[in-house]
Structure 1
C-alpha cells in the first residue's frame, strides 16, 4: 500500500515536471510598408533617425503597467519580442519612408550630415495604465546640422493615450501601436512643412 502511494506520488510529480507549458508571451508591433515606396530623389531632404531613447522603467523588454500614480507592475511572463527602442526605431523608419520622407538611421550617415536633419525621440513613459489604457509620453527634437554641429530646429512634447478595446495584453499592444502611429503622423507633418525642405 505504501509502495503504491509512493509510486502514485512519483508518477504525478514526473507528469507535472514533464509537461511543457510555456507561459511566456512575446509581443511586437510593426508598421508595414505600403508596398509602393515613394520615389526618393537624391535632392530630397534627408532625415537621419537618431536612436529612440526610452527612460525609466519602460527601458526593458518586460511590459510595464502603472496601476496607481506611484505603483508600477513589471510583467513576469509578457515581453516585447525585442527591445522596445529597436522596435520603435524600425516602425519610425518604415512609417516615414511610407510618407515619402528619406529616413536613414543616423549610424549610416557617415560624414554627410551637412544641411540635413536629425530626428531624436525621447520616451519617458511607454506603459499600460489601469485607467488610461496605453500611455506614450516624451519629446521629439529635430536638429539641423551646420558646420559639424547640430542646432535645434524644433521640438515638441507629446502625451498620448489610447484606451483598450478589451482587457489583456494584445489590446494593450494594439493601443501602443495606435499611439506610435499618432506620434509618427505628427512628426511627418512637421517634416513635410516648407521650412524643412
Structure 2
C-alpha cells in the first residue's frame, strides 16, 4: 500500500514539474513614439484632421501575431502577441506621427470634436497585417480622406496601399520592428497626400 502511495505521489510530482514548464507568453509593441505637438501650437491651428481608429479586418483582427507560410497557409501564434490589439497600436502611431508632420492643422482622434467646415477626416482599413516567409512584414489596405463642406463630408482622396519590409532581425521581435517600418512608410505617403489637400485653399 505504501509503495502504491509513493508511486502516485511521484507521478503527481512529475506532472507538477511538467506543467510548470509552460512556454512563456511574450508581448510586442512599436518602439518609436513621436512626441505630440505642443499645446500652444495646437491653439494656433484653426482647422483639424480627425483621425478614425484604424479598422483591422480578416484574420489579422486579433491580438495574436499572424504569419503567412510557404504553403500559403496562415499561422496564428500561440505565445506571441501584440501588447494590445493592433488596431490600437496602429492608431496611436498614426495619430502621433501625423501630429508632428502635418502643418496648419491640429490632429485629433475622431469623435472628440464635431467636424467643422474645412476640416479633414481620415479613415484607414487594414486588410492584411502579417509576417511573410519571403517578404518579411506585409501591410495592405486602403485609406479614405474626407473634407467637411457646408453640405457634409466629401471624399477627396482614396488609395490602396501595399508595403513590405524585410526583417533585419529574426524572430517575432524582428517582425514587429519590420511592421513598424512598414507602417511608417504608409504614414509618410499619407502625409504627402494630406499636405496636398490641406494646402489647397479651395473649399
Give 3-state SS (helix, strand or coil) of 2:42's partner. coil
Aligned to 1:40: 42
Shift of 1:22: 5.3
TM-score in terms of structure 1 length: 0.87
Q: Which of 94, 102, 106 is residue 102 of structure 1 equivalent to?
A: 106
1:11 aligns with 2:13: yes
Structure 1 residues 153, 30: CA separation in 2 closer, same or farther (over 3 Å shift)? farther
2:192 alignment counterpart: 189
Q: 1:81 to 1:43 in 2, by over 3 A?
A: closer
SS at match of 1:89: helix
Aligned-pair distance for 1:6?
4.0
1:149 to 149, 152, 173: 152
Pairwise CA distance, 1:148: 4.8
Post-superposition shift, 1:2? 3.8
The answer (yes or no) to whether the contact 1:59–1:84 under 8 Å persists in 2 is: yes
Q: Deviations over 1:8-64 (max 9, x none)?
A: 3332223334x3745211111154134764823444431000121111110111111
Contact 2:57 2:126 in 1 (8 A): yes
- Aligned length in residues: 195
Name the CA shift for 1:9/1:56 in 2 (closer, same or farther; >3 Å): same
Listed one character per residue, the Cα deviations across residues 65-89 of structure 1 (whole Å, up to 9, x for unaligned) are 1114641111111111111111111
Provide the residue aligned with 2:138 in structure 1: 135
TM-score (norm 2): 0.85
Please list every run of 5 or more consecutive structure 2 residues that lacks an aligned counterpart in the other structure. Answer: none
Give yes or no for contact 2:120–2:148 (8 Å, CA) kept in 1: yes
CA RMSD of aligned residues (A): 2.4
C-alpha separation between the residues in 1 aligned to 2:71 and 2:146?
A: 34
- Residue 192 of structure 1, CA deviation: 2.1
Structure 1 unaligned regions, length at least 5: none
Q: Given the alignment of the two structures, is residue 160 of structure 1 paired with residue 163 of structure 2, yes or no?
A: yes
Q: Displacement of 1:107 after TM fit?
A: 1.4
